[in-house]
Amino acid sequence: MISSLVKAWKYSFLPALFLFSCQSQDVLEGNVDWDHYQGDPGSNQYSNLDQINTDNADQLQVAWTYRSGDVDSLNRTQIQCNPLIINGTLYGTSPTLKLFALDATNGAEKWVFDPFDGQYDQFGMGVNRGLAYWADGQQTRILFSAGVNIYSVDASTGLPDQAFGEGGAVDLHTGLGEDAQNLYVGSNSPGVVFQDLYVVGTRVSEAMGAAPGYIRAFDIRTGKLVWTFHTIPQPGEYGHDTWPEESWRDMGGANAWSGMSVDHKREMIFVPTGSAAYDFYGGDRHGENLFANCLIALDANTGERIWHFQTVHHDLWDRDLPAPPNLVEVSHDGQTIDAVAQITKSGYVFLFDRETGEPLFPIEEVEAPASDLRGEQAWPIQPVPTKPPRFARGTFSEEDLTQRTPEAHAYVRAIWQSLRKGQEFIPPSEEGTILIPGFDGGGEWGGASVDPEGIMYINASEIPWIIKMIEYSHEGDGYLATTGKNIYGTHCQLCHGADKKGASIYTVPSLEDVKSRLSADEIAQIIQNGRGLMPSFSNLSDEAIRAITAFLFDSKEKVDPETSANLGRAGWKYPYFMSGYVRFYDHEGYPAIDPPWGTLNAIDLNRGEIKWKVTFGSHGEGMEDTGSESYGGPVTTAGGLLMIGASMDEKFRVYNKENGTLIWETDLPAAGYATPATYAVDGKQYVVIACGGGKLGTKSGDTYVAFALP
């Protein structure tokens, strides 16, 4: 949908200069911008501002707040946006993906662009983690994704650029092939600007019927597709032999959902990719599966591969590369080297020479266990860097079981004994396999900050999860609801759970009483189109959707067994499906492992050593010293500070980055599951964070809060 709702322009301002670095103090006297997602083209989340520093950070106070007014009262919305601040104007997004511009000194609203024209409940889906900025003379554009489209919006007026695509929008299905046109495609993380190109990755389904995760470059002036890199190689392309011969025709995933980094001097783009679909069973994709789970260096002009490294072969654990890589300068063997550092969900940091892809520390290929699932061929070796040490625990022994209470210990011990465990890379199993760190890391999309001294700062979650595979039955018993239960299990259960109670991983609502809230037609529309954080499942047939509805409504409708069996076979081609995203908790909802459940880490990339580690966050009242899971990353500054929200206790904290000592903390109106930004206007430094909440059982919010010194 191309139509838009644009509020009246309230304030005028000069167009900003196009910058390759957000840290130039002389850009505009008294102003220092944050004009790239995660701070700069190298994604380092660092600022050379030092007005706020270790001597005065404890005097911070609220400078302004902005409320967008579109929070979901049922606590199902989030804001994950790392905003841009350019020439005194802040650009951000709201819970329903409205793009807005604010006066960065007081939070006064300048304009709002609504890509869904007030119909987010019908057409909106996904979240937005950030924006991209482009300028050429008097032309200034904000590029971002919402729903199935990329939008180009005039930064000075909030109006869509009519020369870009169709009325200011380009469909993200463009260039993916005819077979992908009805498959789910979105883009939570922003693309990157290189000259007049906008290079973008996508979010796709993680189950059967996933679109391919090709990397594409669009002309910012016209919206036309310029180049495509096939992450699932086609015949004649490098890596094609790492898949079954015809996989490229219908295989999906291997997508760059977490963002990218740009080396403008070398004209290179660094792309981290995720796993191939289906995420947890690869019986139809035997081989290493390039370019899934890879860090890829591409020629920014043409999209041609320069080098790559695969961090997981034939991924069965959803070990997507979760954040843009950091483009850093390190001292190594007496030399200063331009390097690229990639964090992972599993808690490793891979460090490479930026030009050649040579590892700066040795990477070993360790033996990995075989799978006993029918048809699966797990890869026999997996890469593990020798340095730095992993920043999150990777195994879960009996000594690690929670001691919170005797009852909690006994409860989790009984479950722990029944699961497969003991080393990394144990494949998914019917008994259940422990995965630590879990599906959400380790490291996550908030990314790492790296300062000019080559010290990386990263928050880590240390929660075990459970992967359990269930054998899929194509047989029908004559009841449509039984067939619907099978289809629900393969397409819906990952998030909504086997018990239909929902899950906190994506703020997923319960479906236990859905028939009292929604009609069958309304459910069908949501499944077909997606809503909020739920993707579209338009690849499902009308009969399959009707069967899911029959299951949710406890229908007693009968169908003949042959129809039921045929419908089941059409709904899922694999012999197994995964039971759902399940955190390993005790009987009272606390993690099954001893604390810390979340940490902050400083890693010396020069030496490959952990510099310091502290517990980060709290799990709730009475659990202040446990640490917690976290979403969103840190920002560090020349003032010696590390600033971060991210934790489930709804606080914003400032640390001494030299030693991890807490300097100051304050309560937020909702949890700040977003990476903050710091900037200066008229010589005054601010730090701002989006407070959207909505994950881990916390309330949703619609507020941006900026802090400054008195």
How confident is the model over 121-130, as pLDDT tens digits? 877 778 999 9
pLDDT for 686 equals 98
Q: Is the pLDDT of residue 21 over 60?
A: no
- Check if the beta carbon of residue 344 is closer than 8 Å to that of residue 272: no
* 473-497+507-573, CATH topology level: Cytochrome Bc1 Complex; Chain D, domain 2 (1.10.760)
Q: Is the pLDDT of residue 22 over 50?
A: no
- Alpha-carbon distance of 319 to 308, in angstroms, equals 17
* Torsions phi, psi for 351 (to 5 deg): -125, 125
First to last CA, the chain: 45
Confidence of residue 533 (pLDDT cuts 50, 70, 90): low
Q: Using CB atoms within 10 Å of the CB of residue 675, give its burial: 0 to 12 exposed, 13 to 18 middle, 19+ buried.
A: buried
Q: Which of 9, 1, 36 is nearest to 22 (CA)?
A: 36
- Check if the beta carbon of residue 710 is closer than 8 Å to that of residue 61: yes
What are the residues facing 666 on neighbouring strands? 652
- β pairing state of 576-578 and 469-471: antiparallel
Q: Which of 500, 485, 496 is nearest to 564 (CA)?
A: 485
**Interacting residues of 6 by C-beta distance below 8 A, sequence separation 6+:** 111, 112, 113, 114, 157, 158, 159
Residue 47 host element (H or E): strand 46-47
How confident is the model over 407-442, as pLDDT tens digits? 999 999 999 999 999 999 999 999 999 999 999 999
* Torsions phi, psi for 460 (to 5 deg): -130, 140
Confidence of residue 225 (pLDDT cuts 50, 70, 90): very high
Write out the residue limits of the CATH 1.10.760.10 domain(s) in the chain. Answer: 473-497+507-573
Spell out a b/e string for 219-243, using b for 16 or more CB atoms within 10 Å of the CB, else e. Answer: bbbebeebbbbbbbbeeeeebbebb
Read off the pTM: 0.91
User: Which segments within 224-367 are labelled E, that is strand?
Assistant: 225-229, 252-253, 261-263, 268-272, 276-277, 294-299, 305-310, 326-332, 335-343, 349-353, 363-367
5-9, 133-137, 322-326, 470-474: least confident range:
5-9
How confident is the model over 137-151, as pLDDT tens digits? 999 999 999 999 999
Confidence of residue 498 (pLDDT cuts 50, 70, 90): confident
Write out the residue limits of the CATH 2.140.10.10 domain(s) in the chain. Answer: 5-44+54-394+436-463+595-708
**Interacting residues of 276 by C-beta distance below 8 A, sequence separation 6+:** 232, 251, 252, 253, 254, 282, 285, 289, 292, 315
Q: Which of the two residues, 258 and 579, has the higher pLDDT score?
A: 258
pLDDT for 143 equals 98
Q: Is the pLDDT of residue 476 over 70?
A: no
Q: What is the mean pLDDT of residues 352-375?
A: 98
pLDDT for 506 equals 52
How confident is the model over 316-326, as pLDDT tens digits? 999 999 999 99
How confident is the model over 440-467, as pLDDT tens digits? 999 999 999 999 999 999 999 999 999 9
Q: Is the pLDDT of residue 14 over 70?
A: no
- Check if the beta carbon of residue 292 is closer than 8 Å to that of residue 415: no
CA 131 to chain centre: 14
pLDDT for 565 equals 66
Q: Which of the two residues, 175 and 570, has the higher pLDDT score?
A: 175
Q: What is the mean pLDDT of residues 599-618?
A: 98
How confident is the model over 477-494, as pLDDT tens digits? 677 877 777 778 777 877
Architecture of domain 5-44+54-394+436-463+595-708: 8 Propeller (2.140)
Q: Is the pLDDT of residue 707 over 50?
A: yes
- Check if the beta carbon of residue 465 is closer than 8 Å to that of residue 616: no
**Interacting residues of 126 by C-beta distance below 8 A, sequence separation 6+:** 97, 145, 146, 147, 186, 187, 188, 203, 533, 535
pLDDT for 11 equals 35
- Check if the beta carbon of residue 399 is closer than 8 Å to that of residue 393: no
